Structures are given as C-alpha cells and as structure tokens.
C-alpha cells in the first residue's frame, strides 16, 4: 500500500476517535439540555416545499426510502448518509399524526433489506392508514424489489416506471463456508458450544441436513408472512401471490399486468394523482439534517477523491451487521 494511502487510513482512524469523543460529549450535553434542544429543533429533519399548491390548510408529504432497508444506527462518524431506519419510522408516525397532512407519498428506491425492519415500516404504514385515515401512495424509483415491494403492498395506490425493477418476492439467508480454504492453509477452528445447533451457519463447518431443515423453516415462516401481506394489500388470493412470488423480478410493465401495481408513471404523476384525491395542497418533503458525523463522512469522501475504495470498505465494516440474517432483499 502506498504511503499516501497509509496516511489516509491513519487520518480516518484519528477522525473516528474524534467522532467518538464528540458523540460522547454531545450525549452528555444533550442529556442536560433536552428541553432546550426540543424547543430549538423538534425533529431530525426539516420540511422543504417541493411544489406550492392552490389550496390552503393542508399538506402532502413525500417520504423517501432510498437504500437498503436496515437498521445500522444513526450515530458515529460512519453513520449512514442514505437510509436511516429509526428516523424514517419517526417520519411516517409524524406524518400520520399531523392533522395538517392530507396524504403521504412514499418514494421507494430500494432492493429491500431486513425482515424485521420491513415489517416495522409496514406496521407504521398500516397505522397511518387505519388510525389516522391517511391515504398512502407509493412511487417506485428504479428499484422497489423484495422488501421494497413488501412495504409498498398495503399502499392505496402503487405507481411505477415501466423500467422499474420490482417483485423479487421471497426471503433469503446467506453465509459462506471456508472449511476447505482453512484446511489448505492448515487453519483449525476450536468451537465449544452448548448444543449441536449453536454454531448453525458457521463459516467453518459444513451445513448438515438438520441445519438446513431448521433454517428452511424460518425462511418458510417469513415467506408465508410476505405472501399474507401482499394478498391483503393487493386483494389477491394467497395462491395467486405464490404463483408469481417465486423470487423473480418484474419490470413495471410486467408488474402492471400482474396487478402488483396500479399505474405507470413518475413521482410527478403520483403527486398529481394524490392531489386529485385529496386536494391541490402544498407538497413538502422531510429532509434529514446532515449533522456533524454526516458532515465528517462527506468531507472524508471528498478528501479521498477518486481513491474511495478504502473508505467505502471501512464504512461497510463499521456500519453493517455482518451476521447471517433473514432478508427480504434482491441481490444481483
């Protein structure tokens, strides 16, 4: 590795330490001044007007699901600058409770993500619809697959581009096995466990038929829930969902033919449809605050310039939970 890259990595490490110190100090300050901060900034986002309407007294809110649906936390230097799960849940809840909000549009651009996180979003969407009587439309971007479709299923209307990649209805769990590689290099792993399945999906032993049966039961259970959500949201039978829900992806045109979406169109078209339904109100977007950690992360990317590989690798290692887990996700 070149001297320049060594210096860059050392700088990243130093900034990580600084970030941890700043976060700790900030937490202490905020714990003593929470009431003051609440009065200054009630949410972690600001409201930006996208389009001005002709009617007063109401709003249409656009919320974005952009990136992999996973909860990796919001703190630290390597906090995600894309999708932030807890903040998004708060945004849906706020838009649902706000009496000024007449309708909610979800702009979905994701390959999916965690089973638990997708279910949490689904619950918030249904709550906004049933408890607060808010219509919810979905505008699909370039991709709204697997968990992206899971969260779209209960929407009152789903709109996609003809070229949108959607579908991928199913559940996946993956791991790697390095047993032969370890043997070739003389690496031996000593495992002490309380039961025969405690190291299930270990990378250092072969999967047994009993292991596979246990994991398949988890996959089947999550898949059954996926099918139920689509059947209820799209007014289809479970048999119909299972026929088209074999994991394959569909284009927007194909999804329309299969009744997985309602209309073809853009975000602007979706906004027009919502205005026809609730009124020609202002369209606003909840825009996250960047914050100090996000600012440092963005600055680092600029500082690395074209040599972003090391930083991207560090971000993935530090920000992503690496253990095998159940996922509604499309992987190409």
Lowest mean pLDDT among 9-23, 79-93, 312-326: 312-326
Q: How far is CA 196 from CA 190, 193, 202, in A?
A: 14, 7, 12
Residue 214 has pLDDT above 50, yes or no: yes
Report pLDDT for 144. Answer: 97
Sign, Cα dihedral of 70, 75, 80, 83: positive
| Rounded mean pLDDT, 73-97 | 78
Report pLDDT for 325. Answer: 78
Write the CB contacts of 323 (distance below 8 Å, at least 6 apart in sequence).
Answer: none
Lowest mean pLDDT among 75-79, 183-187, 194-198: 75-79
Report pLDDT for 30. Answer: 44
| Rounded mean pLDDT, 176-188 | 88
Residue 310 has pLDDT above 70, yes or no: no
Report pLDDT for 121. Answer: 97
Q: Rounded to 5 degrees, what angle do the CA atoms 277, 280, 286 make?
A: 95
- Per-residue pLDDT of 51-63, as tens digits, reads 999 999 899 999 9
Neighbours of 191 (CB within 10 A): 9
CB 164 within 8 A of CB 141: yes
Report pLDDT for 231. Answer: 98
What percent of the chain lies above the pLDDT cut of 70?
73
Closest to 95 (Cα-Cα) out of 71, 122, 129: 129
Report pLDDT for 318. Answer: 46
| Catalytic residue of the set 97, 142, 175, 198 | 198
Report pLDDT for 78. Answer: 46
| Rounded mean pLDDT, 155-171 | 97
Q: Binning pLDDT at 50, 70 and 90, where does residue 38 land?
A: very low
Lowest mean pLDDT among 174-178, 246-250, 256-260: 174-178
| Catalytic residue of the set 146, 161, 222, 297 | 146
Report pLDDT for 138. Answer: 98
Q: Binning pLDDT at 50, 70 and 90, where does residue 81 land?
A: low
Instruction: Please provide the average confidence, as pLDDT, over all residues in the chain.
Output: 83
> Could you tell me which residue, 122 or 331, shows the higher pLDDT?
122
Active site residue 198: yes
According to DSSP, residue 202 is labeled -
- Per-residue pLDDT of 277-291, as tens digits, reads 999 999 999 987 655
Write the CB contacts of 59 (distance below 8 Å, at least 6 apart in sequence).
Answer: 98, 100, 101, 102, 281, 282, 283, 284
Which residues are registered as beta bridge partners of 45?
288
| Rounded mean pLDDT, 100-104 | 97
CB 60 within 8 A of CB 103: yes
The H or E element spanning position 279 is: none
Residue 201 has pLDDT above 70, yes or no: yes
Greatest extent of the chain over all pairs of C-alpha atoms, in Å: 73
CB 122 within 8 A of CB 229: yes
């Amino acid at each position: 590795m070149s001297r320049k890259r060594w210096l860059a990595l050392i700088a990243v490490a130093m900034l990580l330490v600084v970030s941890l110190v700043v976060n700790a100090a900030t937490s202490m300050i905020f714990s003593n001044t929470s009431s003051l901060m609440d009065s200054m900034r009630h949410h972690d986002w600001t409201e930006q007007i996208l389009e001005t309407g002709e009617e007063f007294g109401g709003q249409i809110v656009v919320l974005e699901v952009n990136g992999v649906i996973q909860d990796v936390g919001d703190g630290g230097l390597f906090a995600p600058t894309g999708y932030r799960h807890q903040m998004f849940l708060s945004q849906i809840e706020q838009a649902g409770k706000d009496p000024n909000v007449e309708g909610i549009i979800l702009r979905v651009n994701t390959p999916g993500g965690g089973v638990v996180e997708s279910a949490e979003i689904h619950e918030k969407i249904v709550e906004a619809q049933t408890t607060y009587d808010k219509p919810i439309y979905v505008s699909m971007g370039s991709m709204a697959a697997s968990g992206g479709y899971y969260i779209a299923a209960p929407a009152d209307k789903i709109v996609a581009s003809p070229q949108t990649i959607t579908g991928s209805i199913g559940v996946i769990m993956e791991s790697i096995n390095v047993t032969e590689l370890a043997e070739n290099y003389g690496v031996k792993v000593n495992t002490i466990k309380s039961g025969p399945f405690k190291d299930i999906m270990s990378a250092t032993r072969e999967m047994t038929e009993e292991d596979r049966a246990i994991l398949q039961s988890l996959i089947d259970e999550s898949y059954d829930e996926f099918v139920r959500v689509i059947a209820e949201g799209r007014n289809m039978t479970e048999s119909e969902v299972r026929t088209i829900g074999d994991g394959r992806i569909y284009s927007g045109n194909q999804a329309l033919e299969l009744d997985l979406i309602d209309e073809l169109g853009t975000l602007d078209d979706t906004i027009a449809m919502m205005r026809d339904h609730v009124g020609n109100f202002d369209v606003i977007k909840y825009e996250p605050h960047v914050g100090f950690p996000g600012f440092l992360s963005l600055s680092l990317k600029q500082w690395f310039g074209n040599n972003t590989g090391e930083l991207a690798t560090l971000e993935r290692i530090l920000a992503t939970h690496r253990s095998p887990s159940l996922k509604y996700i499309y992987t190409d």
